[in-house]
């Protein structure tokens, strides 16, 4: 895995010390809140409903065991014993004290972690496929390119004050698990006709109050040219992006208002000026980064393991976990094990200090010290021998981490909502808990199959409701929480934005409404259809009818 070089280490330490001084000056009254606010935001420190919140970057969702263990320690020492994994593959702490945050950042720096690029109008932490380097379906590990994007974008002097925040996601697989089409820039690795590996570049995707699926600005950009091309896009955005209105400042609005052809023209023109400059990365340098993410020392194993099969036959709960949470690995005899942070009735994405430490220990023992954070708010042990899966699951299960529900109706994305967030208009977590309890029976979840429910507590859409097969948006209606349902969203390679079904539901009504949609789907589905497939075949009307009848 990538290790910091001296330059990275110095950069993070200097930033930590800078922030310590800034906090000291703020507490002494040498700078005002107005002056301090942008500085704290640049270090991932928000002020939420009940307390400060510290958002820590997990670049491209990859963690080492020692890093996850440190995240657990920070939860215990600086917070109230837990953290919340987010749709940005990051972790948030909900209760840190301002005067202690510099110490927390120093403890993070000790394991090469930080809160840089987790806030502010900069290029944010790059996200990618949580199965990178392990997935059987990937063309190449996308993380070397994510790391190069990190190095290019961190403290980029030209892009520190963009019109608005800017998010880049990368997939190395045709099966998009990183929602690249709903990011400011999405990169999809593929091969051109000459057999070279490069990227399709999409721009202008995004969620929030104005959701869009990204548009292709270039079918193919070679690896060597990727970074100058990204720079050209950012330059065009930085120059023409709207600074007059915060709500129109994202690149998606620029692309929408100007049209993709016009933006392409501007980007190509800019790119022609810089493509042969210092941002052209040669093969040797790329090879150096690929080497940093070289596969671990896999053993040559048979893909069939007799003990694994025996445990599955003997233990139904284990077999169920394998069925949903274990994914095919590219290396024979190995598997990808998903650790659900969605226990039935639990809080999506929350993990305690000891749970983090346990997963860190298990990764060390069984997964080459490698852990991933998913944008769907779960964790992954990416490289587990099939022969070890039963031992891993047994340990996870004892710690309430063995829930067998990946991709099912109870594997809900939920933002923190009004329980924590200063921007929220309604709560999202309690709703996700009630839906999880309603559908908690595993046989029922198997029957329903893949169903992605995503809940946001306000229009900013941190809970990705626009791309939920069923999306739920919590709003405030004259002081009461109410919930709008959208149908037909999809974050995958077949991305689509969900459509609003109709009038919203009260807190008391909404779980029944969701259940009626699921029941309708089961009634009318064709064999093998997922909820989203049925919706695409029959459209909104049959679902609208069960929600509203003659209303």
Partner 1 sequence: MSLQVVTANRLEDGLVVFLTSDGGWSENINDARIAEDKEAANALLAEASAPELDIVIVGPYLIDVEQQGTDLVPTKYREVLRTKGPSVREDLGYQAV
Please identify, using beta-carbon distances, which residue of 107 and 476 lies nearer to partner 1: 476
Q: Least separation, in Å, of the C-beta of 511 and partner 1?
A: 16
Please identify, using beta-carbon distances, which residue of 15 and 427 lies nearer to partner 1: 427
User: What's the half-sphere exposure (Cβ side, CA atoms, 13 Å) at 194?
Assistant: 6
Q: Are 194 and 209 in contact (CB under 8 A)?
A: no
Q: Least separation, in Å, of the C-beta of 165 and partner 1?
A: 21
Please identify, using beta-carbon distances, which residue of 97 and 537 lies nearer to partner 1: 97
Q: Are 397 and 362 in contact (CB under 8 A)?
A: no
Q: Least separation, in Å, of the C-beta of 488 and partner 1?
A: 29
Q: Which long-range contacts (CB under 8 A, 24 or more apart) does 213-221 make?
A: 213/181, 213/182, 213/495, 213/496, 213/497, 214/180, 214/181, 214/182, 214/183, 214/185, 214/186, 214/252, 214/495, 215/255, 215/260, 216/260, 217/260, 217/263, 217/264, 217/267, 218/264, 220/190, 220/192
Q: Least separation, in Å, of the C-beta of 68 and partner 1?
A: 22
Cα–Cα distance between 277 and 271 in angstroms, integer?
10
Please identify, using beta-carbon distances, which residue of 275 and 427 lies nearer to partner 1: 427
Q: Are 45 and 99 in contact (CB under 8 A)?
A: no
In the structure encoding, which two tokens stand for residue 497, read together? 């934005």
Please identify, using beta-carbon distances, which residue of 101 and 254 lies nearer to partner 1: 101
Q: Least separation, in Å, of the C-beta of 509 and partner 1?
A: 17
Ramachandran region, residue 292 (left: φ > 0; alpha: ψ -120 to 50; beta: rest): alpha
Please identify, using beta-carbon distances, which residue of 3 and 478 lies nearer to partner 1: 478
Q: Are 417 and 474 in contact (CB under 8 A)?
A: yes
Q: Least separation, in Å, of the C-beta of 115 and partner 1?
A: 16
Task: Give the pairing type, strands 334-339 and 350-352.
Answer: unpaired
Please identify, using beta-carbon distances, which residue of 50 and 288 lies nearer to partner 1: 50
Q: DSSP per residue over 215-277, as a string?
A: EEEEEEEEGGGHHHHHHHHHHHHHHHS--S-GGG-SHHHHHHHH-HHHHHHHHHHHHHHHTTS
Q: Least separation, in Å, of the C-beta of 29 and partner 1?
A: 4
Q: Least separation, in Å, of the C-beta of 476 and partner 1?
A: 8
Which one, of 393, 153, 196, lies nearest residue 283 by Cα? 196
Q: Least separation, in Å, of the C-beta of 529 and partner 1?
A: 34
Q: Least separation, in Å, of the C-beta of 128 and partner 1?
A: 30
Q: Are 324 and 337 in contact (CB under 8 A)?
A: no
Q: Give the H/E segment covering residue 308.
A: helix 306-314
Q: Give the H/E segment covering residue 473.
A: strand 470-477
Q: Coil, strand, or helix at residue 153? A: helix
Q: Least separation, in Å, of the C-beta of 37 and partner 1?
A: 9
Please identify, using beta-carbon distances, which residue of 97 and 446 lies nearer to partner 1: 97
Q: Which residues contact 314 (CB under 8 A, 6 or more apart)?
A: none
b/e for 35-73, b at 16 or more Cβ within 10 A? ebeebbbbbbbbebeebbbbbbbbbbbbbbbbbbbbbbb
Interacting residues toward partner 1 by CB under 8 A: 26-29, 32-33, 47-52, 80, 95, 97-99, 347, 418-420, 424, 427, 429-430, 433, 476, 479-481
Which one, of 355, 340, 347, lies nearest residue 403 by Cα? 340
Q: Which phi and psi angles does 185 have, rounded to 5°?
A: -130, 130
Please identify, using beta-carbon distances, which residue of 84 and 250 lies nearer to partner 1: 84
Q: Which residues contact 144 (CB under 8 A, 6 or more apart)?
A: 286, 289, 290, 292, 293
Question: What's CA 434's distance to the chain center, in Å?
Answer: 23
User: What's the half-sphere exposure (Cβ side, CA atoms, 13 Å) at 530?
Assistant: 16
Q: Least separation, in Å, of the C-beta of 47 and partner 1?
A: 6
Please identify, using beta-carbon distances, which residue of 277 and 479 lies nearer to partner 1: 479
Please identify, using beta-carbon distances, which residue of 334 and 420 lies nearer to partner 1: 420
Please identify, using beta-carbon distances, which residue of 48 and 210 lies nearer to partner 1: 48
Q: Least separation, in Å, of the C-beta of 512 and partner 1?
A: 20
In the structure encoding, which two tokens stand for residue 436, read together? 């999880």
Please identify, using beta-carbon distances, which residue of 318 and 420 lies nearer to partner 1: 420
């Amino acid at each position: 895995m990538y290790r910091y070089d001296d330059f990275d280490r110095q950069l993070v330490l200097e930033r930590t010390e800078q922030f310590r001084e800034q906090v000291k000056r703020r507490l002494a009254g040498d700078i005002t809140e107005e002056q301090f606010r942008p500085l704290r935001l640049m270090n991932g420190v928000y002020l939420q409903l009940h307390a400060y919140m510290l958002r820590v970057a997990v670049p491209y969702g990859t963690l080492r065991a020692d890093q996850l263990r440190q995240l657990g320690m920070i939860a215990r020492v600086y917070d109230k014993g837990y953290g919340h994994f987010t749709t940005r593959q990051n972790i948030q702490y909900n209760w840190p004290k301002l005067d202690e945050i510099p110490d927390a950042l120093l403890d993070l720096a000790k394991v090469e972690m930080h809160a840089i690029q987790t806030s502010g109008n900069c290029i944010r932490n790059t996200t990618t496929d949580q199965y990178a380097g392990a997935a059987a379906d990937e063309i190449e590990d996308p993380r070397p390119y994510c790391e190069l994007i990190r190095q290019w974008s961190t403290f980029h002097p030209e892009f520190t004050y963009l019109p608005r925040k800017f998010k880049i996601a990368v997939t190395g697989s045709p099966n998009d698990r990183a929602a690249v089409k709903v990011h400011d820039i999405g990169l999809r690795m593929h091969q051109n006709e000459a057999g070279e590996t490069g990227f399709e570049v999409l721009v202008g995707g995004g969620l929030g109050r104005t959701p869009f699926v990204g548009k292709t600005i270039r079918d193919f950009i070679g690896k060597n040219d990727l970074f100058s091309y990204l720079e050209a896009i950012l330059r065009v955005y930085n120059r023409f992006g709207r600074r007059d209105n915060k709500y129109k400042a994202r690149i998606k609005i620029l692309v929408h208002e100007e049209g993709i052809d016009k933006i392409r023209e501007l980007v190509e023109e800019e790119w022609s000026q810089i493509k042969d400059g210092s941002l052209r990365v040669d093969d040797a340098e790329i090879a150096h980064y690929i080497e940093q993410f070289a596969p671990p020392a896999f053993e040559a194993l048979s893909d069939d393991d007799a003990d694994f099969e025996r445990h599955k036959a003997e233990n139904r709960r284990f077999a169920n976990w394998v069925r949903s949470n274990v994914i095919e690995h590219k290396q024979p005899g190995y598997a990808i094990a998903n650790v659900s942070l969605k226990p039935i009735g639990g809080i999506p994405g929350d993990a305690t200090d000891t749970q983090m430490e346990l997963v860190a220990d298990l990764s060390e023992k069984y997964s080459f010290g490698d852990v991933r954070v998913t944008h769907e708010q779960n964790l992954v042990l990416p490289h587990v021998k099939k022969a070890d899966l039963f031992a891993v699951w047994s340990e996870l299960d004892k710690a309430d981490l063995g829930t067998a529900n990946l991709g099912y109706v109870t594997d809900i994305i939920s933002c923190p909502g009004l329980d924590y967030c200063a921007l929220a208009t309604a709560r999202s977590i309690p709703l996700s808990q009630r839906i999880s309890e309603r559908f908690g029976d595993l046989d029922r979840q198997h029957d329903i199959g893949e169903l992605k429910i995503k809940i946001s507590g306000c229009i900013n859409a941190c809970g990705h409701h626009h791309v939920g097969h069923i999306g739920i948006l919590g709003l405030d209606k004259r002081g009461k929480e109410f919930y709008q349902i959208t149908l037909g969203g999809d974050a995958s390679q077949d991305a689509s934005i969900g459509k609003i079904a109709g009038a919203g539901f009260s807190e008391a009504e909404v779980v029944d409404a969701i259940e009626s949609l699921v029941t309708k789907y089961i009634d009318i589905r064709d064999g093998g259809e997922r909820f989203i497939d049925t919706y695409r075949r029959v459209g909104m009307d049959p679902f609208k009818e069960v929600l509203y009848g003659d209303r």
